[in-house]
Structure 1
Amino acid sequence: MSIHLVGGGWPLVDEGAVYRPFFDEVTAHAETAGKLDGARLVLVLVRDGDGPQKYAEIVTAYEQLAKIVPVPVISAEGRPIEPSVFADADGIVVWGGLTPAYRQSLEPSFGEIRRQVASGVPYLGFSAGAAIAAEHAIVGGWKIDAVEIGTEDASEDLEQLTVEQGIGLIDLAVDVHAAQWGSVSRLIAAVEAGVVDGGVAIDEHTALIVGDGPLRVAGRGSVWKVTPDSGSVRVSTAGADAS
């Protein structure tokens, strides 16, 4: 089973191509467990005000892709999420919104999410859910000291570049909405400053799939990989795998 990191972009495009590999794994997990009524999909939203409406919208879209039994975990910003909500999951989805709020609310459950994924439960992080999947999570910011490293519109309500403990599902740092928000420059600055050892920035409507074997890319955009290189940085891109 794999970790699926989606760089944002909603609603579904291309008949849900970015999400189909995840739902294939979720369905397989449920079938292996002998569940006939559908896969138990834990769907986490940390949002103020529109959580129930967004949840209903997401479920309607996801029901087109697989037979699921959705489990709503809808939290206001600042409210902790208990580890017990992930029991008996066939798949975990952590959605988008304010990245620092997701990290704060899910922190008590980081260990349980890691345990579930290690046991074979697939994980899908969308936008904020992708960013906090990293061991060292870029949660926001648009400056390092007085130097601008990105746009304030993508700052997540933080001024200074902020890297905090994430769930720890992958070693690389993750930034999202790469081409659309220009967040590649923030990741480059973070790597160049040594705040993170390397990372990926994922375009909208694009997924990076981390599992057994080589990394895979699905969707219509690119994944930008940034690595340190003799005191500078190296930037490369990857698009969807040929089928």
Structure 2
Amino acid sequence: MDEPSEPSAASDLLPSTFLIGGGWSDPGVYGPFLRAATGAPGSTPRIACVILDEGEGDGERQFARYDEVLRSAGDCTPVPVLVPIGARFDVEAAADVDGLLVCGGLTPAYQDAFADCLDRLPRLLAERRIPYAGFSAGAALAARAAVVGGWLLDGVAVCPEDTGEDLDEIAVRDGLGLVPFAVDAHAAQWGTLPRLIAAVTRYRLPHGVAVDENTLVEVAADGRAHVSGLGRAHSVRPADAEGDGVVVRSYGAGESFPTGATGLTGLTGLTG
């Protein structure tokens, strides 16, 4: 597939972006996102929950779970935005809410659902100061170079097969460009950190972050990523300009790290 297009100037104006690595044990990871999603004075923030719907009540069941965890984290009104599998997300669904949460599921399917608005949605979020939160698949989609799945690198296993998201070879596709690094989720629980390391080395990505479950990485306007929750965030960077090896550093609650320059460059050979 072609290289991702350059990020728009709107990305520099975005409010904080919130990356949740999956898990249901700590509703508190949603707290910073809800505090950023301020509505009109005296009103309850409306949070759009984008969920890929497989039909037969699947979307409603998924939404009920997010509705419960969001309400337990703070005062808000979750709003279901159910997108049938194979359909496209309508960016106008984010136009009249105070926060946008893109939920979990098959990451390649989420990337496909957002493929028509990879430029428009970040512009809308910036213009209306709407914070974005991504849970698992939604966190991966926030990157410009989105690691959407796979468990093999040139036929060699780098992570468990059941983490492959219905893909074999590791795949990196166009994302929203809300954060300047690639993202993987369920790092400690599913063993996905090696997949991110493989993606950073194969596709010459300048930075990747693998997030544990029940862990939040808040990418703030000050250019730093702030970690909270029960787990850790694992930062992966090339060891040198030639791409020979990587440096991995892990950060826990209360710690932060620099995200690097806005926008990813030098991406070649992305699969899709």
Q: Displacement, 1:195? A: 4.5
- The equivalent of 1:39 in structure 2 is 45
User: C-alpha distance in 2, partners of 1:147/1:234?
Assistant: 22
Deviations 1:192-237 (A, max 9, x none): 2234232000000001100122210010101001000121111110
User: Residue 248 of structure 2 aligns to which amino acid in structure 1?
Assistant: V
User: C-alpha distance in 2, partners of 1:160/1:177?
Assistant: 19
Q: Displacement, 1:153? A: 0.8
State whether structure 2 residue 151 is matched by structure 1 residue 151. no
Q: Which of these residues, 245, 261, 264, is aligned with residue 232 of structure 1?
A: 245
Match of 2:81, SS? strand
Q: 2:70 touches 2:78 (CA, 8 Å); kept in 1?
A: no
Q: 2:28 touches 2:73 (CA, 8 Å); kept in 1?
A: no
- The equivalent of 1:17 in structure 2 is 28
User: C-alpha distance in 2, partners of 1:111/1:193?
Assistant: 25
User: C-alpha distance in 2, partners of 1:107/1:189?
Assistant: 24
Which TM-score applies when normalising by structure 2? 0.82
User: Residue 193 of structure 1 aligns to which amino acid in structure 2?
Assistant: R
RMSD after superposition: 1.5
Deviations 1:147-198 (A, max 9, x none): 2221111000000110000011012000010011110001111122234232
User: Residue 22 of structure 1 aligns to which amino acid in structure 2?
Assistant: F
Q: 2:34 touches 2:76 (CA, 8 Å); kept in 1?
A: no
Q: Displacement, 1:83? A: 1.4
Match of 1:215, SS? strand
* Unpaired runs of at least 5, structure 1: none
Q: Displacement, 1:4? A: 0.4
- The equivalent of 2:69 in structure 1 is 61
Q: Which of these residues, 118, 122, 137, is aligned with residue 114 of structure 1?
A: 122
Match of 2:119, SS? helix
Identity in percent: 40
Q: 1:47 touches 1:97 (CA, 8 Å); kept in 2?
A: no
Match of 1:217, SS? strand
Q: 1:195 to 1:150 in 2, by over 3 A?
A: farther
User: C-alpha distance in 1, partners of 2:77/2:185?
Assistant: 28
Q: Which of these residues, 10, 15, 19, is aligned with residue 5 of structure 1?
A: 19
User: Residue 45 of structure 1 aligns to which amino acid in structure 2?
Assistant: I
Q: Which of these residues, 207, 217, 221, is aligned with residue 231 of structure 2?
A: 221
Q: Displacement, 1:112? A: 3.2
* Unpaired runs of at least 5, structure 2: 1-14, 256-272
**The 10-residue stretch of structure 1 (160-169 or 16-25) with the greater mean CA deviation from structure 2:** 16-25
**The 10-residue stretch of structure 1 (205-214 or 57-66) with the greater mean CA deviation from structure 2:** 57-66
Match of 1:18, SS? helix
Which TM-score applies when normalising by structure 1? 0.91
User: C-alpha distance in 2, partners of 1:150/1:70?
Assistant: 34
Residue pairs, 1:108-147, within 5 angstroms:
108-119=116-127, 120-147=129-156
Deviations 1:32-84 (A, max 9, x none): x34x3411211100131411111022112212333323321111211111111
User: C-alpha distance in 2, partners of 1:116/1:84?
Assistant: 9
